[in-house]
Structure 1
Amino acid sequence: MSLPFDLRALRVFLSVADRGGFSAAARELHVAQSAVSQTIANLEKRLELTLFQRHERRIGLTPEGEHLRLHARQLLERAEATHLAMRELHGLVKGELRIGIPSMLGSYYFPPLLMGFKARHPGIRLTVVEAGARRLQRMIADGELDLGVVIDDAASHHLERRRLVREEMVVCVPREHPFTGRAGVTAEAFFREPLVLFQDGYFHREFVDALSRQTGLTADVAFQSNLIPLTKAIVRQGFGITTFLRRVVDEPELAAVSFDPPAWLDLSLAWARGAYLSRAEQAFVDFVLGHRDAL
C-alpha cells in the first residue's frame, strides 16, 4: 500500500506550518506559491484531513495539522540521519560540526581541544556557538546543534552525556578584599556583598540563584553582564564580587576563594538522545574524551 505523502510534501507542509503562510514557505523553498498551495491541497486530499485553518490574511494549523507536524519533523530527522549513514558507507563525513559551549568553557577550557581536533581533521569545519547552558540544551534537543557542553544535572538528563570534568565554583574578589586569604566563604557572607552576575539562562547565574533558594538569602545584584572581561573589570575596581570556575580567575589583581562548603559542577559533553552520530561527530567525541585529562 502506498503512503499518502512523500518526504517532499512533508517538507513543504513543515515550511508552511513553521513560517505561518504559503508565501513565506514559497520564499524559503525557492518555488512558486502556487506550487506550495497545490502540494498542500494534494496532501490534504490524500490524507482526507484538513491541515490548515485558512483565514483572510493568515493561516493556522488544525488539531490534525498539529499532530502531523510532530510526526513529520521526527520522520524527516530520521530520513536525514539515514541519508547521512548511507553517505558514510562511501567514506563521506559531515562537513561541519556545530558545537555549543558556555562562555567560560569556550574561553578557558576548549580552545586547545578545538585547535587539536582541527589539526587532526583539517577538512571538517567547526562552528562554535556560545550561549547559556539551558539554551544550549534546548538547541541540542531541537537539532540546532550537533554537540554541546552542559551542566550534568537533572535538567540535562534527557540528553546523551559523557562526563568531561568536575570543576570548582569559587568566589572571585579583588586581591585586597577581606575574603582574600580565607579558607572559605559562607553563603551568608557572599550574599552580604554586592554581586556582579550573568543574566538568566547561564549556569553562572543558575548557581547563584540555586544557592539563594537553598539558604533563603537574597542576592544584591549590582551589575548584570555576560561578558567575562567586563565582569572582571568591575570586580577589580571594587564595585562588586562574583563567582567563576576556578580556572577563570587568572589575573594577579583577582583572588579565588572557595565557598564554605566547597561548590563543584560536573560538566559533560552531550548530544540528543537517540541521535545518529556521524563519523565527524563521533571523532570529535572520541578526541575530547581522550584528552579530557588535559582540561
Structure 2
Amino acid sequence: MDMALEVFIKVADKGSFTQAAAELNMTQPAVSQYIRALERSVGAKLLDRTNKYVRPTQAGEIVYHHARIILGTYTRMQTLVDDVLHRAGGELSIGSSYTFGEYVLPRLLANLKSRYPLIRPNIKIGNTDVIADMILNREADIGIVEDEYQHEKLAVEAFAEDEMLIVVPAEDRFNKKSEIGLEVLMEETWILRESGSGTRRVTERMFSERGVQPASILEFGSTQLIKESVEAGLGITLLSRWTVQKELKLGTLHVLRLSGDPVKRPFSLLMQPTPYHTKAVQVFLELLKELSGFQGLPSSSLRYNEHG
C-alpha cells in the first residue's frame, strides 16, 4: 500500500499536518515529506496551506477521491487474502438508508457480534442516493436501501418486504376511524422526508397511484423529528412499521387502515457486481437471509441491472 496516499487522506480529512502526524504516529516533518513526494509523483500541488487552514487544491480533490478508492480496494484485497487463512473478521463497511439503518440494523449487528466477534462493522447512514454513491465509490461493502432501486453499474436485489403505515396523532377524531380512504386525508398536513429518501419516493408513489395530492406538505430530514411532530399534532405521515413500534405500544401515535391494498415496499441490497466478497460480507449476507426469510440472497444471485 502507498503510505503517501494514506498520509495525504489523513491530512485532508483533519485539515492539519499536526493532527495527521499525531494520528499516524509520525513526526510532522515525516508527514510533510510524504506529501512532497506525492506532489512530485503526480506533478501538481495538492494542498493549500496557510496559518488558518490546510485544504486540497483542485488537483488535490481529484487525488483525494481516487486515493480513497485505491486504499479501499487494497484493503478489500488484503482481507480476501487473509480470509483464506483465517475465520471471518476484519472491517465490514455498511451503508444504510435511515429506516433500515436506525431501526433494523442494530438488531442484526448484535446478532453478528455474538456469532462473529472478530468482525468490526462500520456503519454510515444516509438517504438512498447517498448510499448508492458510497457503493459506486467503494466507500462501503454493502448498501441497504428502501424501496425498489436500479442502477446500471450496481448489483441490486430486493431481500425483504416493509409495510408502510399511515401514522396520525393519538387524537379522538382519528381513534374512531378503523378504515379510511386516502382522499379523505388530503386536507391534512402531510409531513414527508426529504427528496432522495426511499420513504419519500414510496409516499409520492402512493399519492400518484391513488390520484390524490395533499393540500399542505412539510418536509423534514429526520424520521424521529417527523414522529415527534405527528405526536404534537402538526400533521400526519407515512412511515415504516419498523419505525413506530415503540410509539404504537405506548399509544402516543395511531395508525389508520387504508381502504384498498396495503402500501408495501422492499428493502434492497446494493453491491459491486463482483463474485469476490470477503468472509465478513458473506456471513452478513447469510445473516440477512436468515432473519428476513429471503431464500435467494447469496452473492451469486445478485443481478446486474443493465438498464437504469
TM-score, length basis structure 2: 0.69
Unaligned runs of 5+ in 1: 1-5
Q: Distance in 2 between matches of 1:53 and 1:233?
A: 44
Which residue, out of 180, 194, 203, partners 2:177? Answer: 180
Q: Distance in 2 between matches of 1:222 and 1:63?
A: 38
Q: Distance in 1 between matches of 2:199 and 2:278?
A: 32
Q: CA offset at residue 33 of structure 1?
A: 2.2
Number of equivalent positions: 286
Q: Distance in 2 between matches of 1:103 and 1:117?
A: 20
Q: Distance in 1 between matches of 2:142 and 2:24?
A: 27
1:172-228 C-alpha deviation (Å, 9 max, x unpaired): 234742893336424xx4332123444565433344456668868455246847355
1:239–1:282 CA distance, 2 compared to 1 (3 A): same
1:205-259 C-alpha deviation (Å, 9 max, x unpaired): 344456668868455246847355x755654665532212346565375233237
What fraction of aligned residue pairs are identical, expressed as a percent?
27
Aligned to 2:216: 220
Q: Is the 8 A contact 2:72 2:139 kept in 1?
A: no
Q: Please say if 1:29 is aligned against 2:20.
A: no
Q: Distance in 2 between matches of 1:16 and 1:91?
A: 33
1:78–1:159 CA distance, 2 compared to 1 (3 A): same
Is the deviation greater in 35-44 or in 112-121? 112-121
Q: Distance in 2 between matches of 1:244 and 1:17?
A: 38
Aligned to 1:105: 100
Q: CA offset at residue 17 of structure 1?
A: 4.2
Q: Please say if 1:52 is aligned against 2:49.
A: no
Q: Write the letter of the residue equivalent to 2:4.
A: A
1:73–1:183 CA distance, 2 compared to 1 (3 A): same
Q: Please say if 1:283 is aligned against 2:288.
A: no
Q: Is the 8 A contact 1:108 1:247 kept in 2?
A: yes
Q: CA offset at residue 265 of structure 1?
A: 1.6
1:64–1:83 CA distance, 2 compared to 1 (3 A): same
Aligned to 1:79: 74
Q: Write the letter of the residue equivalent to 2:198.
A: F
Q: CA offset at residue 159 of structure 1?
A: 3.8
Q: Write the letter of the residue equivalent to 1:163.
A: A
Q: Please say if 1:265 is aligned against 2:265.
A: yes
1:116-145 C-alpha deviation (Å, 9 max, x unpaired): 444433444555555544444444445554
Unaligned runs of 5+ in 2: 295-308
SS of structure 2 residue aligned to 1:264: strand
1:233–1:156 CA distance, 2 compared to 1 (3 A): same
Is the deviation greater in 52-61 or in 81-90? 52-61
**RMSD of equivalent CA atoms:** 4.2
Q: Write the letter of the residue equivalent to 2:36.
A: A
TM-score, length basis structure 1: 0.71
1:114–1:42 CA distance, 2 compared to 1 (3 A): closer
